[in-house]
Amino acid sequence: MHRIRIAAAAAVAALAIGIAGIGVGTLVRDDGDGSGGAATTTVTVASSESTASSVSQQGTFSVADLYARASSGVVEVAVGAAGGAQAQGSGFVYDDDGHIVTNEHVVEGASTATIRFPDGSTAEADVVGTDPSTDLAVVKVDVPAVKLDELALADSSALRVGDGVVAIGSPFGLEGTVTAGIVSALHREIVSPNDFTIDDAIQTDAAINHGNSGGPLLDLRGRVVGITSQIRSDSGGNEGVGFAVPSNTVRRIATELIRDGSVEHAYLGVSLAPEGAARVVSVRDGTPAEDAGVEAGDVVTKIDGVDVESGVDLRGELDRHEPGESVTLTVTRGGGEETLTVTLGTRPS
């Protein structure tokens, strides 16, 4: 049986303990609740004497030059843990106001974190907000602007399978580590810390290990295409299958966390089949779906008249709505069609 492990929350005193509780689970889970790319597929390494050739005609950098360009924007994130141990992960500078983005599971339950910059200096950060449904968090430091080398976000929807990517982070506390690989697959589903589905995850064979979580996955132009979050492993170490939360999700959630300190997701309350149409497997008790008369076996085909062809479509449409809004679901049931009105709830945290 394969095990999914959160890639970063490495407790220095007990590495495996802080990870297994969140990271172990099945690769695909569907809950039905709503939650550019590199220009070349070749990773080239230029010698230090060949700076003129380090940038190709497509505008991409060698790994060495990309690291020199982007590593100053990557930090180590540490928080105190139970028993005096310390949980550790990575993060990157989001803006020049001192906001740093990392994974929720890196700072889970903490109000402050210690940020270690590439020059070895440290600063205390306040946790601005967290969203376990997407495993994203924002913390804020008050430091001179010279320390804040913000990294730009790319459009993750423009990624292609085979595009070159680079991960920078602090695996096992080894800060400033760079690994390179490709986008192995797109549109994967991974399980969030609160057991909801994160859609459109990026799969990569760039080496990701405990402590990488929250660090950036970069395209070959040095732009953030995702945040490294999980690995799939039998051994608990890197086996060439890692996952990153896509940058388009990062942009949306970070904006809300900085603005409001929290994110509310619309909630329907059903479990869906992992593949194919948006077929309801079960309806949770006391949820908006139950109140509206949704039944196990229903197939959702439309939401407010918009066609739904899969669970991903349904979650995407739901995520465009706010808790408390009413939507109309069109479902097929027993060979017929039903129209149900649902008042959406707030997803449990």
Any idea which residues carry the catalytic annotation? 105, 135, 213
* Residue 12 to residue 107: CA distance in whole angstroms: 14
Q: Which residues of 245-284 are buried (b: 16+ CB within 10 A; e: fewer)?
A: bbbbbbbebbebbbeeeebbbbbbbbbbeeeebbbbbebb
The amino acid that residue 119 corresponds to is D
Judge contact between 175 and 246, C-beta under 8 A: no
DSSP output for 189-235: EEE-TTSPEEEEEEEE-S---TT-TTPEEEETTS-EEEEEEEEEESS
Strand partners, 331: 300, 338
Strand partners, 267: 345
Q: Is residue 310 classed as helix, strand or coil in its secondary structure?
A: coil
* Residue 78 to residue 88: CA distance in whole angstroms: 4
Q: Which of 117, 179, 178 is nearest to 143 (CA)?
A: 117
At which residue do the structure tokens 């601005």 appear? 128
Q: How many CB atoms lie within 10 A of CB 301?
A: 17
CA distances to 37, 66, 210, 318 from 53, in Å: 21, 13, 34, 47
Tokens coding 170: 């602090």
Q: Is residue 302 classed as helix, strand or coil in its secondary structure?
A: strand
Tell me the CB-side half-sphere exposure of residue 303, using CA atoms within 13 A. 28
